[in-house]
Amino acid sequence: MTLHERVIRFADDGARGRAAAVVSRVFVGIGAVSRLLDGVAESGARRGVVIADGAVAATVAAEVESGLSARGLTTALIAVPAGETSKSAAEAVRLWEALAGLPADRATHVIAVGGGVVGDLAGFVAATFVRGLPVWQVPTTLVAQVDSAIGGKTGINLAAGKNLVGAFWQPVGVACDPAALATLPDREYRSGLAEVVKYGVILDSELFVWLEDSVDSILAREPAAITHLVGRCVDLKATVVEADEFERSGLRAILNYGHTIGHAIENLAGYGRLLHGEAVAMGMTAAARLALATGRLPVEIARRQAALLARFGLPLAPVGIAGLSVEGIVEALSRDKKSLHGRVRFILPTDLGRVGIVDDLDSGLVREVVADLLSGS
């Protein structure tokens, strides 16, 4: 199977103190991790600090550390407790102190091994320690391979909401290997498929149709199917973030489809109660209902989205989850970091492969759709 490589090129940005263009290389397929480790060694790094999710510290992360050592680097491995609660200021401080104790210097590279939590946390720590260490990503969950490891968004959560503190810090390289997903729990794997469906809805109708036709091979985790869907999602996200790295033009905002209400549900339910992709699936369902109610979306497209999410075993509504209320969700929406001048911005579909940014929705309609979602109707 051929290794797929996507080079993402970001322009100079002197306004943010970046005087030269940045390039990220994403490798997709069997052998991607080995290719990334070659890249670390070829970069001139002298030390590799592996920051890993505790669930993969003894497996994938240990193999990464061994591979770095075999290539002549001094190594260290720091495990992070599994779960969303690790995306915290307290955990960032612990990692900063650990790096200081090595001590890490500018010839030290950080290699994040794990899902979106570790990728976001380790990326943020790398972006801020000694004003920036190079970071490489080895995502071991599907949601990280197709989304969070690509594009340089890093951050930690606050009690008020997800990802409220962070930085844009592009990884030097990313390795998306189907083998890294082999032991991923079924629920985690299905959660990642919400982000895959998202790309089909917002950018690529052909991908959406392929997903409809390939449910069985995708759920069976066939390497060829995984490599195809991850490679396509990487290419789609790369095209968007190349054009709007810092979310200035509004183009990158379309990647938040399903995340506005989804993040509110995830936050209020309590981090760890819902997986990210599960919350996004609910948010996509709500967004499609808003688009239907405002005459933007044909009923058939909303039906097909719901059917595909259901075939992948994803929840469409937060039925039976305590701590959720219409008022709570609406209030959380007002704090969303994507809001502009106090107006909540929604990404709403208009057809397969097309969405629009809307910030003038009637608050009563939003409440009505949220209420229907919570009731499971």
Active site residue 300: no
Active site residue 153: yes
Domain residue extents for the chain: 4-182, 198-220+257-375
Choosing from 198, 228, 232, 263, which is the catalytic residue? Answer: 263
The pLDDT tens digits for 114-140 are 999 999 999 999 999 999 999 999 999
Active site residue 242: no
Instruction: Fold for 198-220+257-375, please state it.
Output: Dehydroquinate synthase-like, alpha domain (1.20.1090)
Choosing from 4, 153, 304, 345, which is the catalytic residue? Answer: 153
Choosing from 6, 162, 252, 289, which is the catalytic residue? Answer: 252
Choosing from 276, 289, 304, 345, which is the catalytic residue? Answer: 276
Report pTM: 0.91
Active site residue 195: yes
Active site residue 331: no
Domain at 4-182, CATH from 3.40.50.1970, 3.40.50.300, 3.40.50.720, 3.30.2270.10: 3.40.50.1970
Active site residue 131: yes
Active site residue 157: no
Q: Judge residue 16's burial from the number of C-beta atoms within 10 Å of its C-beta, 0-12 exposed, 13-18 middle, 19 or more buried.
A: exposed
List the single range of 201-205, 238-242, 248-252 with lowest mean pLDDT.
Answer: 248-252
Active site residue 345: no
The pLDDT tens digits for 296-322 are 999 999 999 999 999 999 999 998 888
Active site residue 247: yes
